Amino acid sequence: MSYNPRLMNSYAIIKTGGKQYRVAEGEVLRVEKLPLKEGDQVEINEVLFAKDDGKSMTGKPVISGASVTAQVVRQLRAPKLIVYKERQKKVYKKTQGHRQWLTELLIKHISLPKI
């Protein structure tokens, strides 16, 4: 088995924007748009799972007292997705583009309650 430093460090699984993300301190993460400005701090309290120094904590559904502190790096838009619809044997074709707004976060600190 090869050594993977990402698997050995502490990490947490958080929920934001209806999706779940695995985060570690120092990582940059793109999530659904949050109504914040660049440089703002955000505290995410929906921590579903956390691992720190070999000890793991599971929430039911969230870990009470746990939070992840992040800083907004920038607001951006994802690459364009093309949505194409067509009905066979009919005169119906529709093309539409979509670009999702995203917020880029820098994970500063993962705080967990004492066991």
Ranges of each domain in the chain? 5-111
- pLDDT, position 8: 54
Please give the backbone phi and psi of residue 40, each rounded to the nearest 5 degrees, phi first.
-70, 150
- pLDDT, position 1: 44
- Closest alpha carbon to 80 in 103, 63, 96, 64: 96
Tell me which residues of the chain have a pLDDT lower than 70.
1-8, 115
Contact predicate 68/44, CB 8 Å: yes
Q: Global pTM?
A: 0.82
- pLDDT, position 114: 81
- pLDDT, position 55: 87
Find all residues with CB under 8 Å of 55, minimum gap 6, and list them. Answer: 115
Distance of CA 96 to the CA centre of its chain: 27
- 19-23: strand order across its sheet: 19-23, 11-16, 47-52, 55-58
- pLDDT, position 7: 52
- pLDDT, position 9: 74
- pLDDT, position 53: 83
Interior CA angle at 53 toward 7 and 104, to 5°?
Answer: 55
Distance separating alpha carbons of residues 68 and 14, to the nearest angstrom: 8
